Amino acid sequence: MDTLILGLPVAYYIAMVAKVLVAFVFVLLTVAYATYAERKIIGHMQVRLGPMRTGWHGLLQPIADGVKLFFKEEIIPSQASKFAFLIAPLVALIPAFISFAVIPFGDTVTIGGYTVPLQIAAYYDQAGKQVFDVNVGVLYILAMASLGVYGIVLAGWASNSKYSLLGGLRSAAQMISYELAAGLAIISVFMLSESLSLHKIVADQAGGAWYAFKQPLAFVIFFICSLAEINRTPFDLPEAETELVSGFCTEYSSMKYAMFFMAEYANMITVCAVTTTLFLGGWHGPAFLPGWFWFIAKVYFLIFVCMWVRATYPRYRYDQLMRLGWKVFLPLTLVNVMATGLWVMFISK
């Protein structure tokens, strides 16, 4: 028999680490190629070609961009608060990535004789029967999303520049306003699933009973609020280039700028993955292809929708943004929660 660590064989840990590494590298690659896809898709939507020169149809463009940013000069403004200025890109990037820990991206796989659930923060009990996962997964994602705002606020404050400060303030106000409506939209989902565990929420949607059909209003509001929370167009006021140069990251250069860029795309992928998990049935799909394939397909479709929205809509004005969040979405989600409560109380039971 193998040596045991905490009552489990070493091979089991190797299988778990392999799972984490594969998932993480895949997310990183998706982040890199999401930038390429965005330029290509928007290019074609505007009847342009997009990047064409590096590699076949510009396929090596993300790598070229990465190398370029890596070798650029690091500039720290002399009046900046050094500590906050250095730490801000990290604070933006890390929450974006660790939200993936609780998202179930597939059914189980067998590695080296051990059944491993395709969700980073989950494991099977010794008998291989029951999955243990973070039983407050939804709240974990909300918590990480609420930490992401620090990166942008700090960057805006530490740069000691008016444009950056305005960008940071806008982003803080925007994220706090839209978090509320997004949270209330999620509440109506777990009123139906009666659980906060993402594993259970996905299991509830097996066989096409997606929450997007049962909760269409919550689905639409959650997706729009998420776009606002991650500062995507049409809600990209924090970095509105026509008025704020580049918003909170005006003073950043080189790899630190690249980290904000990565955080933005990682956030977009996280939001699409969370929407897929909560509303589009997670990894469930027709059985002729494995679960992780359906998960990736749904997430990529949502990423495409984000880019489509960017190519279609003009930017919101600041007062319109606040009115939409507080006077339209918040009351609508409250009514939705009430209606779901009544439905659960009197009709479904």
Partner 1 sequence: MESIFFLVVAAVAVISSILVVTCKNPINSALSLVMTFFCLATFYVMLDAPFMAATQVIVYAGAIMVLIIFVIMLLNVRVETVKRGTHAVIAGSAIGLFVLFQTIWFLMKGSMTGKVGEMTKEQIVSVGHVELIGKALFTDFLLPFEVTSVLLLAAIVGAVILAKKKI
> Smallest distance, Å, CB 42 to partner 1?
32
Give Cβ neighbours of residue 91 (< 8 Å, ≥ 6 apart). Answer: 147, 150, 151, 154
Residue-wise DSSP of 105-123: -SSEEEETTEEEESSTTEE
**From 12-20, 106-114, 152-160, 339-347, span contacting partner 1 (CB under 8 A):** 152-160
Are residues 45 and 20 in contact, defined by beta-carbon separation less than 8 angstroms?
no
Contact pick of 33, 124, 150, 326 for partner 1 (by CB under 8 A): 150
Contact pick of 140, 210, 223, 279 for partner 1 (by CB under 8 A): 140
Contact pick of 10, 28, 44, 83 for partner 1 (by CB under 8 A): 83
DSSP lists the bridge partners of residue 114 as 111
DSSP code of 133? E
Q: Is 136 in the site for partner 1 (CB under 8 A)?
A: yes
Nearest-angstrom CA–CA distance, 152 and 167: 8
Q: Could you give the C-alpha distances from 100 to 51, 113, 139, 163, 316, in angstroms and in order?
A: 30, 25, 13, 32, 30
Nearer to partner 1, 278 or 296 (CB): 278
Give Cβ neighbours of residue 286 (< 8 Å, ≥ 6 apart). Answer: 294
> Smallest distance, Å, CB 256 to partner 1?
17
Q: Is 154 in the site for partner 1 (CB under 8 A)?
A: yes
Nearer to partner 1, 81 or 246 (CB): 81
Contact pick of 18, 63, 94, 142 for partner 1 (by CB under 8 A): 142
Contact pick of 84, 109, 255, 332 for partner 1 (by CB under 8 A): 84
Nearer to partner 1, 91 or 272 (CB): 91
Nearest-angstrom CA–CA distance, 159 and 248: 8
Q: Is 86 in the site for partner 1 (CB under 8 A)?
A: no
Treating both helix axes as pointing N-terminal to C-terminal, what angle do 330-342 and 216-229 enclose, rounded to 10 degrees?
150
> Smallest distance, Å, CB 195 to partner 1?
8
Nearest-angstrom CA–CA distance, 94 and 157: 19
Contact pick of 1, 2, 3, 6 for partner 1 (by CB under 8 A): 6
Could you say which residues in the range 212-251 bind partner 1, by CB under 8 A? none
Q: How many residues bind partner 1 (CB under 8 A)?
A: 28
Are residues 276 and 282 in contact, defined by beta-carbon separation less than 8 angstroms?
yes
> Taking the CA atoms of the chain, what radius of gyration do you get in angstroms?
21
Contact pick of 98, 109, 139, 322 for partner 1 (by CB under 8 A): 139
Neighbouring CB atoms inside 10 A of 246's CB total: 17
Listed in sequence order, the DSSP H helices in 46-81 are: 61-70
Contact pick of 23, 149, 299, 324 for partner 1 (by CB under 8 A): 149
For the window 168-207, what string marks contact with partner 1 as x by the rule CB under 8 A?
Answer: xx--x---x--x----------------x-----------
Are residues 82 and 152 in contact, defined by beta-carbon separation less than 8 angstroms?
no
> Smallest distance, Å, CB 157 to partner 1?
5
> Smallest distance, Å, CB 140 to partner 1?
6
List interacting residues with partner 1 (CB under 8 A). 6, 81, 83-84, 87, 134-136, 139-140, 142-143, 146-147, 149-150, 153-154, 156-158, 165, 168-169, 172, 176, 179, 196
